[in-house]
């Protein structure tokens, strides 16, 4: 039976989005409402499957107007060809930034305000797919829905 691993259980005060049954984390959920209520404009996405659930969630986020960041080494598909297609071919069509975990951690390093991530200035050059880059983020980590 599927379940949420202990390390991924919601902490007190964290936002919990209603369960869904589609491939996108936005479809048939209150995720968009929750993000908007909390002033979130940027989504950072990790998870599996990169070429289905992650991509569907990312595309939906982009269509809703969110700045979409894909973490390439924290997403995967069932094979290297599918992962390559998700990151190198499809990712640039919806993600404003495609970064590695190390680049993301470097960008977040020292960017805490009262325990919440508030502002991020990229400390290393990021592979951006749009001129807006990965700066002045108000992020919420959205784990892949599959």
Q: Where does 27-85 have alpha helices with state H?
A: 31-37, 55-63, 80-84
Measure the CA angle with vertex 126, ends 56 and 129; round to 5°. Answer: 45
Instruction: Name the architecture of domain 42-143.
Output: 3-Layer(aba) Sandwich (3.40)
Q: Tell the burial category of 62 from Cβ atoms under 10 Å away from its Cβ (0-12, 13-18, 19+).
A: middle
Q: How confident is the model at residue 114 (pLDDT cuts 50, 70, 90)?
A: very low
Query: What percentage of residues in the chain have a pLDDT greater than 70?
Result: 71
Beta bridge partners of 45: 70, 142
Which tens digits make up the pLDDT trace of 61-84?
999 999 999 999 999 999 999 999
Residue 93: the pLDDT is 92
User: Over 60: is that where the pLDDT of 110 sits?
Assistant: no
> Burial code of 73-84, b = ≥16 C-beta within 10 A, e = fewer?
ebbbbeeeeebe
**DSSP SS3 for 72:** strand
Give yes or no for residue 145 having a pLDDT over 70: no
Predicted TM-score (pTM) of this structure: 0.70
Locate the domains of the chain by residue range. 42-143
């Amino acid at each position: 039976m599927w379940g949420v691993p202990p390390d991924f259980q919601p902490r007190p005060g964290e936002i919990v989005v209603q369960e869904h049954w589609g491939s996108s984390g936005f479809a048939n959920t209150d995720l968009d409402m929750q993000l908007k209520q909390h002033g979130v404009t940027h989504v950072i996405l990790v998870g599996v499957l990169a070429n289905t659930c992650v991509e569907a969630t990312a595309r939906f986020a982009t269509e809703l107007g969110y700045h979409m960041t894909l973490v390439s080494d924290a997403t995967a598909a069932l094979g290297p060809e599918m992962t390559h297609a998700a990151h190198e071919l499809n990712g640039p069509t919806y993600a404003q930034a495609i970064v590695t975990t190390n680049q993301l951690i470097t960008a977040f390093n020292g960017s805490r305000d009262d325990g919440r991530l508030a502002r991020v200035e990229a400390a290393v050059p990021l592979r951006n797919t749009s001129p807006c880059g990965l700066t002045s983020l108000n992020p919420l980590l959205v784990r892949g829905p599959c």
